[in-house]
A and B are shown apart, each in its own frame.
Chain A
Amino acid sequence: MSALRILVPVKRVIDYAVKPRVNKAQTGVETAGVKHSMNPFDELSVEESVRIREKNSAPGGVEDICVISAGPTKAADVLRTAMAMGADRGIHVDVKEGEDLEPLSVAKLLKATVEKEKSNLVILGKQSIDDDAAQTGPMLAGLLGWPQATQASKVVFGKGDTVEVTKEVDGGVETVRAKLPMVITTDLRLNEPRYASLPNIMKAKKKPLVKMSLSDLGVANERRLKVVKVTEPPPRKGGGKVEDVDGLISKLKELGAI
């Protein structure tokens, strides 16, 4: 059984609890001065990687957990968080503010990293909560020609490099078995990410963090999609309240809902 060399891509996004506002120029959402944090699904990926090591659940053991993020200088913050959660080291691919990569470019960048770092398992979040595209994981698997298991709620290692993954699908769950190397994307039910403790945050500051550029990895930021505009969704106005159940029923009838 191969020892695991896990690559965990993480993304810095607007915090999930913040309600994003569209900017005045209608080119995107307002990001200046807005709280950012690690994409919640990526926290699950980091947690799962660390648990695989702690629980010794992979027969070949875990040799390395490397986290990677592509983004502006501040993306290094989420890498430090991931290292405080237990990742061994980080790679920060420096991309200027406002020059965000599309999922296909991220997948190409990750493919180059996988080859460079000799990773045999990539665990990604199923989607980032900003773009909501849900593409990078399967794209990477396609580029590498590796098996994939998306929306994982359970990951079990077996003999001979096999991995059994239970996936959340429409209407229930489905289990597939594949062989390493493979790509897994995480769903909410996979685990509950830990909080980084203060001593671990301090220790994380000493862990290696390498800075790279896109050209170091031989990838260009090639944009295929042009954002024509970004607008607020049509507002929904609350219709007020009723006093009792009878009021509710008559209002629903009036609205033609029942």
Chain B
Amino acid sequence: MILSTARRTALRSVGALPRSTSVFSSPFNNPSALRRLLSSLAILEQRDGKLNHGSLSAITAAKKLGGSIHGFVAGSNIKPVAEEAAKVEGVEKIIAVDNAAYDKGLPENYAPLLVENIKKGGYTHIIAGHTAFGKSLLPRVAALLDSQQVSDITAIENENTFVRPIYAGNAIATVESSDPIKIVTIRGTAFPAAEAQGGSAAIEDGVDPKVEISTEWVSEDLAKSDRPDLATAGKVVSGGRGLKSKEDFDKIMLPLADALGAAVGASRAAVDSGYADNSLQVGQTGKVVAPQLYLAVGISGAIQHLAGMKDSKVIAAINKDAEAPIFQVADVGLVGDLFEKVPELTEKLKSS
């Protein structure tokens, strides 16, 4: 506790120095001074006793910051999850809290749990994915610590300065935080998940404030799919309003996805019309993807949709409207009736 207080006091005094002070204005120029001060806590997700490997992106982001890195996991029978997370190279310690009360990640008790562990560890940076879990939890943690969170960052410039898209990705803001504890959520597609190998972190029990809550988890209904996960797939085929019905969506898009080994996505129009499940929506308010290949079928390319896929390596589009905005961003476009072109494409991909 003494150490952590000292550490934070030191950091505050760094923040108070004039920006022109050369040593500190660009902390990355002086990594040895930085490492003594900076320590990150990466919040890792688990479900049913399995580590969510996507959440290891938080460790990649922590590595970019430098300084010491701890990981945090909580839930029932947490040991195997902690052991798996401990294998990530560069992680010093995994803080684990074994308590079934945290299995569903309810922010009402998970936030105070994190706050206690953050205070105990004296961390300067708290990092979690900008996932449903992170979006629900981290702002609550930030409020309890009186810190202004920085959401959905895509790059780290230095320990105080982060880059994040705003206005559905139509502008990129660089912001500098003056809070002593920086709380950030990261865009998974901008920070590849760290691999769980090469490391041997110590595992330590965290503090458990056991906050009683009245919120109950009732049920869940998760879409089952054998196809790759949309958020992390290397290839994504996505369908829009042009598919006309759920039957056509399934008949046209699923064989194409299977021929490419791709995940299936959808535009908001397709989801709202009931052609595809909500969880498949790509865009500002759905998932943000950045695969090797994004193939947009019957999608016009509204700005809210582009916000979710324009960082894809290669964008291809099939649309009957040659003026559709999607063609302005597509690396390769084919103007034509998707009901003819897509089955032909699927056949040719299968036979090649």
Task: Please list the residues of chain A having a beta carbon within 8 angstroms of any beta carbon in chain B.
Answer: 14, 16, 19-20, 22, 28-29, 102-104, 107, 126-127, 129-143, 147-148, 150-151, 153, 164, 167-179, 187-189, 224-233, 236, 238-242, 244-249, 251-252, 255-258
Contact = CB atoms under 8 A, between A and B. Distances in A.
Interface stretch (B5-13, B31-39, B76-84, B217-225): B217-225
A257 B139 contact: no
A189 B331 contact: no
Interface of B: 104, 106-108, 111, 130-133, 135-144, 146-152, 161, 164-179, 213-223, 231, 235, 260, 268, 272, 277-279, 284-285, 287, 292-293, 303-304, 310, 313-316, 318, 322, 327-336, 341, 344-345, 348-349, 352
Given A245-B344, A251-B332, 9 more contacts: A104-B143, A142-B144, A169-B133, A174-B219, A224-B179, A228-B161, A233-B171, A233-B310, A249-B345
B10 to A, nearest CB: 19
B328 A172 contact: no
Contacts of A103: 139, 148-149
A172 B222 contact: yes
Given A248-B334, A258-B260, A135 B139 contact: yes
Contact of A147 (B137, B178, B214, B333): B214
11 contacts: A29-B166, A142-B107, A170-B133, A224-B179, A226-B175, A231-B171, A249-B352, A255-B332, A257-B293, A257-B316, A258-B235
B108 A147 contact: yes
List the 9 closest A-B pairs by CB distance, nearest first.
Answer: A224-B148, A172-B222, A142-B143, A142-B140, A239-B331, A135-B139, A138-B139, A139-B143, A257-B314
A175 B218 contact: yes
B206 to A, nearest CB: 20
B132 A240 contact: no
B334 A247 contact: yes
A80 to B, nearest CB: 25
Contact of B231 (A104, A131, A143, A170): A170
A132 B167 contact: yes
A246 B348 contact: yes
Nearest to A150: B136
Contact of B107 (A148, A227, A232): A148
Given A225-B177, A227-B174, A233-B170, A174 B220 contact: yes
Contacts of B341: 245
A230 B170 CA distance: 10
A173 B348 contact: no
B139 A176 contact: no
A255 B314 contact: yes
B106 A238 contact: no
B139 A29 contact: no
A151 B334 contact: no
B310 A236 contact: yes
Contacts of A148: 107-108, 136, 140
A248 B314 CA distance: 12
Contacts of A169: 132-133, 220, 222
B151 A173 contact: no
Interface-centre pick from A102, A138, A175, A178 (highest chain B CB count, 10 A): A138
B314 A252 contact: yes
Interface-centre pick from A22, A107, A143, A233 (highest chain B CB count, 10 A): A233
A231 B172 contact: yes
A238 B323 CA distance: 12
A232 B277 CA distance: 32
Contact of A241 (B221, B284, B327, B344): B327
Contacts of B222: 169, 171-173
A174 B170 CA distance: 31
